[in-house]
Amino acid sequence: MSSYYITTPIYYVNDVPHIGHAYTTIAADVLARYHRLRGEDVFFLTGTDEHGQKVQQAAAKRGVAPQQHVDELVIRFEQLWKRLDISNDDFVRTTQRRHTAVVQEILRRLQAQGELYRHSYEGWYCLPDERFWANDEVSDGKCPECGRPVERLSEQNYFFKMSRYRERLIRHIDTHPDFIRPEARRNEVLGFLAQPLGDLCISRPRARLPWGVPFPFDDAFVTYVWVDALVNYISIPGYGTDEARFARWWPANVHLVGKDILTTHAVYWSTLLMALGLDLPSTIYAHGWWTVNGEKMSKSRGNVVDPGAMVDEFGVDPFRYFVLREVPFGHDGDFSRDAFIGRYNSDLANDLGNLVSRTLTMIERYCESRVPQPGPEDDFEELVAATAREVDNSLRDFQFHRALQEIWIIVNRANRYIETSAPWTLAKNPSARPHLDAVLYTLAETLRHIARLISPFMPQSARAIFESLGLADVPNGGPAAWGVLKAGHPIHKAPPLFPRTVTPHPVRIVMDIPEPTVAVSPTPQLAPIGIEDFAKIDLRVGKIVAAERVPKSSKLLKLQVDLGTETRQVLAGIGTKYDPEALIGRLVAVVANLKPAKLMGLESQGMILAAGDKEVASLIGFVEPVQPGMKIK
């Protein structure tokens, strides 16, 4: 039996679980369930990251010991995964001895191999990220990663000789195209590695931070929290403790991560594995972020989507379906209540729910609640077999939305089949009985296949359909054959899968956003200009055809903008608002006759117009379709 090992990142225990955590974990759960469905031996690992300075400070603020603090907080994640029907095989906590002992053993091995050295270090330290930054990486006293203030620290620490693995890692990425996905993220990592790679500070002085895994050979230090956290991927499968088990599961097939922690996984983790003489995981897949009604989620805005609240209102499976159907995996997605309700009403209540209800009702009414005799199935057998192949291809490519689209082709085809075959009319004609039976058998068997295909995405709905068809839970192992249902087998009509069609609330969104506490100062009015001054500005419609981040800048994006007759390079300080891939194909307003300027060594040949003052609120766009190069007046 082939094996499949998949992980999520381990989530920071201080966090309140939100849609971002749920998104990664649901995606991993779908892959784990799908590979079990194929008959593979699966190990699915998730857990929590429980060490570090922020945990220590939060515990001190509460007046409790750090261990008590994390013991109380971890329950939030454990309970939410149960509510979301997550089928993880293990749950790691970095405070568990089974993990910390392996962290210490790895440090001993690295030290014995000459991979570590002690050195004085002075640099900028970001407390929220628990990370040092060099002078040239910090601008305006802000962390280049999260934008929060940094502080100057000087201290002795242990360093891992990460720099010696730079060329080897570049070669691995070049020769293993599936190692970092999607491709845009792979290019980001290669761009990062195009710059000199320093060594990695992997310790913190115990005098400053006692809450961590102690260094086994120097009691004055604890392990850098990221190194501690990354080791979970090998500590739990048995590295250093159960070599046979470890050989069974390593290397991991997939590490699923958010794009914000790609560097730590693709660079820090990969070079540590190289130093330990271990194979790298087959794939590190970095997905996008969720916004809410076009805005970044934040506690201060009060717009963090609570998965538990969504489950309370709509159920588990609709939430699981929405987050994977709404956007291509790897891209950023926007959550809105209206979009969720639209999917619920259209795809779930009207399409799938209606198909299940009508089919079971007609078998109950016309066949005494028993599976009728099969007959010609109007190519449904070929359709479900072809769909199963497409679902397999889509999930191998991590395209959950495409897999669901393929399944819904069968759902919609079956609904049309009911309309065109009109079983209610056939039931009135005794001579049409064989045709009626064939139609209803085809629908029942199609429902069984639909349930099997949706089972990784919506396990509760799949189980409900199987139970209604009088079958046990969805079986694992191999492709599903046509004709498993036997004539005369009793069915059991159940309550509707999606019992109510939800109507949108006219005003409310997911969560209320509080009013700003600081009044916005009016923008000072500039001196009036004449029409002849305005006429000097050549404003054109531009279409963004390529976009990427500028290395060492959190704000600058390098855009290639089609102006109809030419494509220009434009640098725009919109990187904190927009991700590069989200801008491809977007129509924007461009100042086309602006004198070229150099920013961070790159030439900018125009300006993109946006609303906002110190921070970009929105790009200027167009409601009607317009052509690149068209004049704006």
**Residue 155: DSSP 8-state:** E
What phi and psi values does residue 402 have, to the nearest 5 degrees?
-70, -35
270-291: average pLDDT? 96
Biggest alpha carbon–alpha carbon distance for the chain: 92
Q: For residues 21 and 9, is the Cβ–Cβ distance under 8 A?
A: no
Could you read off the pLDDT of 450-503 as tens digits, one per residue?
Answer: 999 999 999 999 999 999 999 987 777 766 889 999 999 999 888 889 976 555
* Burial category of 144 from C-beta neighbours within 10 Å (exposed 0-12, middle 13-18, buried 19 and up): buried
Range with lowest mean pLDDT among 16-25, 407-416, 420-429, 624-633:
624-633
Half-sphere exposure of 124 (CA within 13 A, CB side): 18
362-386: average pLDDT? 92
Q: Tell me the pLDDT band of 521, cut-offs 50, 70 and 90.
A: very low
C-alpha Rg value of the chain to the nearest Å: 28
Q: Residue 489 is encoded by which pair of tokens?
A: 């087998």
Q: Is the pLDDT of residue 426 over 70?
A: yes
First to last CA, the chain: 67
Report the distance separating Cα 193 and Cα 267, nearest Å.
8
Residue 523: what pLDDT?
41
Beta bridge partners of 204: 222
Q: For residues 48 and 93, is the Cβ–Cβ distance under 8 A?
A: yes
SS3 472: coil
More confident site: 548 or 23: 23
Could you read off the pLDDT of 570-614 as tens digits, one per residue?
Answer: 999 888 777 776 677 788 899 999 889 888 778 899 999 888 766
Residues in the chain: 633
Domains and CATH numbers, the chain: 329-468 (1.10.730.10), 531-619 (2.40.50.140)
Strand 116-126 and strand 3-7: the pairing is unpaired
Q: Tell me the pLDDT band of 225, cut-offs 50, 70 and 90.
A: very high
Q: Residue 571 is encoded by which pair of tokens?
A: 């640098």
416-426: average pLDDT? 95
Q: For residues 52 and 213, is the Cβ–Cβ distance under 8 A?
A: no
Q: Residue 10 is encoded by which pair of tokens?
A: 């381990």
- pTM, rounded to two decimals: 0.77
Could you read off the pLDDT of 250-271 as tens digits, one per residue?
Answer: 999 999 999 999 999 999 999 9
**Residue 348: DSSP 8-state:** I
Give the residue from 546, 551, 542 showing the smallest Cα distance to 602: 551
Measured on CA atoms in the order 90, 95, 100, 103, is the torsion positive or negative?
A: positive
115-144: average pLDDT? 80
SS3 90: strand
Q: Tell me how far the alpha carbon of residue 220 is from its chain's centroid.
A: 38
Residue 532: what pLDDT?
75
Q: For residues 256 and 248, is the Cβ–Cβ distance under 8 A?
A: no
Give the residue from 28, 9, 11, 5 showing the smallest Cα distance to 78: 11
- Tell me the Ramachandran region of residue 518: left when phi exceeds 0, alpha when psi lies from -120 to 50, beta otherwise: beta
Q: For residues 201 and 208, is the Cβ–Cβ distance under 8 A?
A: no
Place of tokens 């538990």: 308
Beta bridge partners of 331: 329
CA dihedral 346, 351, 352, 353 (to 10 degrees): 80
